[in-house]
Structure 1
Amino acid sequence: MTDVQDNIDVQDNEQKSRIEILVDGAVAGFVDYELEPEVISLTHTEIDGAYSGRGLAKKLVAGALEQVRSRGLSVRPVCPLVRKTIAEDTEHGYLDLVRLTDREEFDLPS
């Protein structure tokens, strides 16, 4: 569980091609990506061991997907955690971010 005193921010680090989660200004984790003109492949998610068990991976992936949505991009969920979040989080409706033509490849409903 996240300490309520933590200041958590999710932001794009374009120079490193990753979306990072910062806790009190320190990078606690990231999602690597490969950007193409209309689609972004989210390839790998990692949380620093010092921050594990605090729910940051879920917040990071949700923040990354919200950034994808705000940029009007489609997502290729190569990372298993991203794929799982898209499949299980019906509240935020992330499935619409995956093109119909990509859903079968990633074992997502059409």
Structure 2
Amino acid sequence: MSLPIKHTPENQEFTVSQDGYSAELSYSLPTEGVIDFTHTFVEEGLRGQGIGDELAKAGLAYAREKKLKVRTTCSFMASYVAQHPDYQDLVEAC
């Protein structure tokens, strides 16, 4: 699946719009070198299509590119990262 995911750093979010519906992955930068994925929302009309997963991949690719450690305050992101071992190296040590 190739979606036009838009990253808007000034709003600290990744978004996608399709068929009149939207989805977002919000984040914060709580300390230098750390990104905290705080909220994921997918409108009803886009649910069940893997859009949340695509947003997660985009956010995690950004973290890797910028060499940021990842926090997952968002339960969806915590679950996604836990299910994908290839992202474990990004997780901030407790």
Whether TM exceeds 0.5 here: the answer is yes
TM-score by length of 1: 0.73
- Higher RCO, 1 or 2 (CA under 8 Å, sep at least 6)? 2
Using the aligned pairs only, state the percent identity.
24
Q: Distance in 1 between matches of 2:38 and 2:82?
A: 16
Q: Which of structures 1 and 2 has the bigger CA Rg?
A: 1
**Which stretches in structure 1 are left out of the alignment for 5+ residues?**
102-110
1:32 aligns with 2:26: yes
User: Is the contact made by 1:20 and 1:27 (CA closer than 8 Å) also made in structure 2?
Assistant: no
Match of 2:92 in 1: 99
Q: CA RMSD in A?
A: 2.0
Q: Distance in 2 between matches of 1:69 and 1:88?
A: 17
Write out the 4+ residue segments of structure 1 that deviate beyond 2 Å after TM superposition.
21-24
Q: CA deviation at 1:21?
A: 2.6
Aligned residues: 93
User: Is the contact made by 1:31 and 1:44 (CA closer than 8 Å) also made in structure 2?
Assistant: yes
